[in-house]
Amino acid sequence: MLVVVIGGGLFLFNHFTGTGSAQAGDCLSVTEFSRAADDPKQIDCGAPEANVKVAARVGGGESCPEGGYDSVSMSGRISYKLCLMPNVKQGDCLKGYISQTAGYQKVSCTDPAKDAELVKIANVSDEGTCEGTEAKRVATYSTPPTTYCIKTAE
């Protein structure tokens, strides 16, 4: 009986503090995009550590919608994949954006560690939206339709 209670407690802990209940529109804190990283934590979207937003939740073997999503796959009793996009607004600056594994961190735009600045965000999935901006990178997402125009330090 004790094992069942502990197992149920662990499920409830992950369900309420991990990503078990995360749905589109929820935010997470992801410190690193790698298999060795700590599990992401669901967090209020207004918290400074809330660096990504869930764009879609799909089955474990499914692909994310069309776009430049980061993803986190969770396996266990229920396997699923969270398709993620940065939780940012126009004018935000980030460090860790050009890294292949580091979780993004919002920083002051005067911070020397800054490697990206969101110069324009549009509610359409169209690279042409960034024409005429200082953007060196463009990230488009189909769900929800979004384009990030990103000025990078590279």
Q: Which of 54-68, 69-83, 92-106 has the highest mean pLDDT?
A: 54-68
Judgement on whether residues 81 and 97 belong to the same structural domain of the protein? no
Judgement on whether residues 82 and 109 belong to the same structural domain of the protein? no
Judgement on whether residues 126 and 104 belong to the same structural domain of the protein? yes
> With bands split at pLDDT 50, 70 and 90, how would you rate the model's confidence at 31?
confident
Report the chain's mean pLDDT, rounded to a whole number.
Answer: 85
Q: How many domains does the structure of the chain reveal? A: 2
- Whole-number Å distance between alpha carbons of 77 and 46: 30
> With bands split at pLDDT 50, 70 and 90, how would you rate the model's confidence at 37?
low
The answer to whether the pTM exceeds 0.95 is no
In this prediction, residue 153 carries a pLDDT of 77
Q: Which domain holds residue 52?
A: 2-86
Would you report the helix, strand and coil content of the chain in percent, each value rounded to 5? 15, 35, 50
- Whether the CB-CB separation of 90 and 118 falls below 8 Å is answered with yes
Judgement on whether residues 73 and 106 belong to the same structural domain of the protein? no
In this prediction, residue 18 carries a pLDDT of 61
Judgement on whether residues 19 and 74 belong to the same structural domain of the protein? yes
Positive or negative CA dihedral for 65, 106, 137, 102?
A: negative
Share of the chain above pLDDT 70, in %: 84
